[in-house]
Amino acid sequence: MKIHEFQAKEILANYNVPIQRGYVVREANNIEHTINKVQSNFDSDAVVVKAQIHAGGRGKGGGVKFCSTSEKAREAANEILGMNLITHQTGEKGKLVNQILITEALDIKKEFYFALMYDRAKNSDVFIVSTEGGVDIEEVAEEKPEKIIKAWVKEGTYPLSDAVNTIINALDLSLYDDVFEIFSNIYECYSKSDCNLLEINPLVLTEDDKVIALDAKVDIDSNALFRQEAIALYHDESEEDPLELKASEYGLNYIKLDGNVGCMVNGAGLAMATMDIVKHHGGEPANFLDVGGAANVDTIKNGFKIILSDPNVKSILINIFGGIVRCDRVANGVIQAVKELNLNVGVVVRLQGTNAKLAKEILDKSDIDLISAETIDEAAKKAVGMVL
Q: Bridge-partner residues for 220, per DSSP?
A: 195
Question: Cα(269)–Cα(43) distance, rounded to whole angstroms?
Answer: 55
Applying CB under 6 A, the span of 55-63, 76-84, 267-275, 308-316 interacting with ligand GDP comes to 55-63
Q: Which is nearer to Mn ion, 215 or 328 (CB)?
A: 215
Contacts (Cβ under 8 Å, ≥6 apart) of 383: 261, 278, 283, 315, 316, 317, 346, 348
Site string for ligand GDP, 5-34 (x = CB under 6 A): ---------------x--------------
Q: Which is nearer to ligand GDP, 108 or 358 (CB)?
A: 108
Residue 62 is a binding residue for ligand GDP (CB under 6 A): no
Q: Which is nearer to ligand GDP, 134 or 292 (CB)?
A: 134
Applying CB under 6 A, the span of 48-56, 71-79, 309-317, 337-345 interacting with ligand GDP comes to 48-56
> Which partner, ligand GDP, Mn ion, none, binds residue 308 by CB below 5 to 8 Å per kind?
none
Question: Cα(215)–Cα(199) distance, rounded to whole angstroms?
Answer: 8
CB of 329 to Mn ion, least distance (A): 51
Q: Which residues are catalytic?
A: 113, 199
Which contiguous run of DSSP H or E holds residue 192?
helix 179-192
Contacts (Cβ under 8 Å, ≥6 apart) of 33: none
Chain residues 264-283 in contact with ligand GDP, contact rule CB under 6 A? none
Secondary structure class of 142 (helix, strand, coil):
helix
Q: Which is nearer to ligand GDP, 56 or 262 (CB)?
A: 56
Contacts (Cβ under 8 Å, ≥6 apart) of 109: 204, 205, 206, 207, 209
Applying CB under 6 A, the span of 59-67, 113-121, 308-316, 354-362 interacting with ligand GDP comes to 59-67
Residue 67 is a binding residue for ligand GDP (CB under 6 A): no
Strands (E), the chain: 22-25, 47-51, 64-67, 84-85, 95-96, 100-104, 108-119, 124-130, 148-153, 195-206, 211-213, 217-220, 253-256, 261-265, 287-290, 315-322, 346-353, 371-373
- Using omega within 30 degrees of 0 as the cis cutoff, is the peptide bond preceding 311 cis? no
Which residue lies nearest ligand GDP, judged by its C-beta? 59
> Which partner, ligand GDP, Mn ion, none, binds residue 214 by CB below 5 to 8 Å per kind?
ligand GDP
Encoded amino acid at 60, one letter = K
Applying CB under 6 A, the span of 52-60, 67-75, 164-172, 329-337 interacting with ligand GDP comes to 52-60
CB of 193 to Mn ion, least distance (A): 19
Residue 56 is a binding residue for ligand GDP (CB under 6 A): yes
What are the residues binding ligand GDP (CB under 6 A)?
20, 48, 50, 56-59, 64, 66, 105-106, 108, 134, 201-202, 214-215
